[in-house]
Amino acid sequence: TAIQQAQQELDECWFCGDEREALATARSEKALALRMQAQNLEVQGERSENVELLNQARRMYVESAGLYRERDREDAAETVERLL
């Protein structure tokens, strides 16, 4: 089940409290920085009609979204840990 999987992930996680939070914060900051860079590239690409810049912006958006999803999974795992 999802709860068992989340517990297993927590058991395998070698980060504890503060270290886990620091990693999650760094991941969120990187995701935000990537998103801001992607927005700038998107504007530049639209203004110059440069498809490569638009494609690069799209890749950065995808990477940023992945980092946010990773953070969400960690938050969910912490919630399950507290509930168990």
The model's pLDDT over 30-60, given as tens digits with 9 standing for 90+, comes to 888 999 999 999 999 999 999 999 999 999 9
Average pLDDT, the chain: 80
Per-residue pLDDT band at 72 (split at 50, 70, 90)? confident
Angle at 23 between CA 66 and CA 80, to 5 degrees: 75
Residue of higher predicted confidence among 80 and 23:
23
Both tokens of residue 37?
């860079």
Residue of higher predicted confidence among 45 and 65:
45
Share of the chain above pLDDT 70, in %: 67
Q: Read off the pTM.
A: 0.62
**Among 83, 76, 80, 82, CA closest to 24:** 76
